[in-house]
Amino acid sequence: MVPMQPMSPRLILAPMEGVVDAVMREQLTAIGGYERCVTEFVRVSQTVLPKRVFFRYAPELRHGGLTSSGVPVYLQLLGSDPELMAANAARAADLGAPGIDLNFGCPAKTVNRSQGGAALLRSPQLIRLICERVRDSVSPATPVTAKIRLGYDSDEDFDGILDALSGVSLTEITIHARTRRQGYRPPAHWHQLKKARQRLPYPVIANGELWSPSDIQRCADISGCDAFMLARGALCRPDLGAAVQALYGGDDNADFGWQEARQLLIEFLARNQALYDPRYAVNPVKQWLVYLKVYYPQAAALFAQVKRITDPDEMANALRGEVDFAEAA
């Protein structure tokens, strides 16, 4: 008898400010494996933001809120005023956002000083109120999700956060399994997600330290989760989503190696050049190479070769391998 395949995991491409923009979403969702994406956080502080701001963060709104591969892009809001958050969520939904995600996990000092992101983990009742107001401000058909950490200084905060969130009708919640104080340092404490699954009446999406298909399997075993948000791992290995699905009998992208990654960088540069001021097109390529170095040894060599390049055409030639670096040096 053929053994039964476990259910394919649901994979979400993480929001990453300054890294995962519309160009990156477009390219990573084209490789496959992802159920949805989330935009970089849109900061809500004093007003209902103008339409152009939402379109800047989510150009996909011009195409039904979907990437070209048909993957929905939820719009993420970060702020601490329940009414303003609700008004901005309503506007984003009116503009066609397929879902609204609320950021209660950002550890940045500037954000936390103005009571945004992870700072709210110290005020679970305010998180609850924001979630409720946002939920009420959009149609019941619009998913409202949130993203939290285990706590601010300590995971002793976690029980209170779960208590506050257990009474809210969120569609799903992503839990980055570290406190704000733990930042991005390994390990992620996946066992805490099991407790969250038992306490919350909606699905829990696991996040933190998911770098490989086997990490997903271990996290699934420890947490019991079947949905995972991939962040830095998705940049280090652009086919991570497809590779995870392949393990469960889904889409594979077995041909994805260093040459494909390099081709991706060439397209990434060209798309950035077309969309933004060409002067700013080179740095995102270097930034992505720093992530790719973790998985591809060849990326380290290429990074060393291109790190001083500032001209986009020169960068394009270098990515295509048309520069004699010994001579250039």
**What is the C-alpha separation between 185 and 205, in angstroms, rounded?**
19
Catalytic residue annotation: 106
Restricted to residues 279-318, the positions that interact with ligand FMN (CB under 6 A) are: none
Restricted to residues 145-184, the positions that interact with ligand FMN (CB under 6 A) are: 147, 176, 184
Per rule CB under 6 A, is residue 128 in the interface with ligand FMN?
Answer: no
Q: Least distance to ligand FMN from the beta carbon of 187, Å?
A: 10
Question: What is the total count of residues that contact ligand FMN (CB under 6 A)?
Answer: 22
Restricted to residues 68-87, the positions that interact with ligand FMN (CB under 6 A) are: 76
**Interface residue with ligand FMN, options 208, 213, 284, 312 (CB under 6 A):** 208
Contact criterion met (CB below 8 Å) for 286 and 306? yes
Is the CB of 16 or the CB of 24 nearer to ligand FMN?
16
Is the CB of 59 or the CB of 105 nearer to ligand FMN?
105
Q: By Cβ distance, which residue is nearest to ligand FMN?
A: 231
**What is the C-alpha separation between 316 and 288, in angstroms, rounded?**
14
Q: Among 14-22, 54-62, 127-135, 320-328, which window interacts with ligand FMN (CB under 6 A)?
A: 14-22
**Interface residue with ligand FMN, options 56, 195, 197, 232 (CB under 6 A):** 232
Q: Least distance to ligand FMN from the beta carbon of 164, Å?
A: 19
Q: Least distance to ligand FMN from the beta carbon of 108, Å?
A: 9
